[in-house]
Amino acid sequence: MTAPLVPFLVAALACGNAVLAAETPAHHADGGFRNPFSDAVQGGVGNFLRVVRMRFFSDAWSTYDADRDRVPLATPVPASDESANATVTWVGHATVLIQHQGINVLTDPMFSERASPLSFAGPKRITRPALTLGDLPPVDVVVISHNHYDHLDAASVRALGDGPVYYVPLGLRRWFERLGIDSARIVEMDWWDGRDHASGERSFRVTATPSQHFSGRSLTDRNATLWASWSLAWDDFQVWFGGDTGYNDRQFREIGERLGEIDLGIIPIGAYEPRFFMRSVHVNPEEAVRIHRDIGATASMAIHWGAFILSAEGVLTPTHALAAARTEAGIAESEFAAFAVGETRRYPAGR
């Protein structure tokens, strides 16, 4: 190779790499996905032992018997017609029924007794889902945040069948197809992919948005599929479903800037202790309030507590901490509500 050619080739290679780097999103990694704003790695034997330790030597365990019956419960009142308001029912954990303009959306449907690959072991519900699968109105759309067992449940999806269209993060199509769901009913999306979903005369827009989390249902599929939050945008009402997420000061601000006005944020507040271990993947209530502010939500509701014991904080601690975080931030209960399990609230649409 002649000398003048060498710098030229080096420059060409460097240029090629730069083009490649620009084309590969920061959350895409070899064989899977990663968090662009957190280096923490979940999983492994060490973390498994930490989970076991915190499960049995924690507030969650010592207050379990006293508090499991104190989780507030309410009777759901789903919408039976097309009112001018959006109707939102907390079924339990991350399962929320959102009804607006005659379109029914269900988030992370989880109706089973255990959030586990095993039917006889693993986190067991302390509160029942407020609606059974049979109680649900026809579900037009299901959005899935990620494939952890407390968010993606085979029995629930099997029961919903080909009724809804499933909007899922990258890599999850195959799981649904294996379960027997019609591939035409599955829409796989990367962050910021969006699609108008038509249901009869009506339509609304579904957009996958970022979150900071991880995925995996076995020991060999760590971060092989993507995690996401979701925007559900009608012409006069926008909901943002946070799914399961840790906090950083980039992604939620970006979501607020790009989505425009968010009428209702659905934000997790539970499964956050011990912090050294959970911080990167689960927000605490104080960080949940920060997300509420970062996305610029008019109102928010709390999820991801009161159903499964997944962490070390006490059963009721997330709502107490949310109340303290609200006081600290100077916001009213109605602005970031801790629903009772089963509670239905209506939010005005038509801005």
Residue type, 341: V
Report the C-alpha gap between 183 and 190 in whole angstroms: 17
Q: Are strands 85-92 and 344-348 parallel, antiparallel or unpaired?
A: antiparallel
Per DSSP, the residues of 287-325 read HHHHHHHHTTEEEEEEES-SS---SSS-SSHHHHHHHHH
Q: Count CB atoms within 10 A of the CB of residue 153.
A: 20
Nearest to 285 by CA among 255, 317, 331: 317
For the bound state, the minimum distance from the C-beta of residue 105 to Zn ion, rounded and expressed in Å, comes to 19
For the bound state, the minimum distance from the C-beta of residue 95 to Zn ion, rounded and expressed in Å, comes to 11
Would you say 146 or 197 has its CB closer to Zn ion?
Answer: 146
Given the rule CB under 5 A, which residues bind Zn ion?
A: 148, 150, 244
For the bound state, the minimum distance from the C-beta of residue 304 to Zn ion, rounded and expressed in Å, comes to 6
Would you say 211 or 344 has its CB closer to Zn ion?
Answer: 211
Would you say 87 or 225 has its CB closer to Zn ion?
Answer: 225
Would you say 148 or 345 has its CB closer to Zn ion?
Answer: 148
For the bound state, the minimum distance from the C-beta of residue 4 to Zn ion, rounded and expressed in Å, comes to 55
Closest residue (Cβ) to Zn ion? 148
How large is the C-alpha radius of gyration of the chain? 21
Report the C-alpha gap between 67 and 34 in whole angstroms: 36
- Quick check: bond before 25 cis, omega within 30? no
**Cα dihedral 307, 189, 30, 173 in deg (nearest 10):** 70
Long-range contacts, 14-23 (Cβ 8 Å, 24+): none
Would you say 233 or 312 has its CB closer to Zn ion?
Answer: 312
Would you say 147 or 238 has its CB closer to Zn ion?
Answer: 147
For the bound state, the minimum distance from the C-beta of residue 320 to Zn ion, rounded and expressed in Å, comes to 20
For the bound state, the minimum distance from the C-beta of residue 345 to Zn ion, rounded and expressed in Å, comes to 22
Would you say 147 or 344 has its CB closer to Zn ion?
Answer: 147
For the bound state, the minimum distance from the C-beta of residue 346 to Zn ion, rounded and expressed in Å, comes to 27
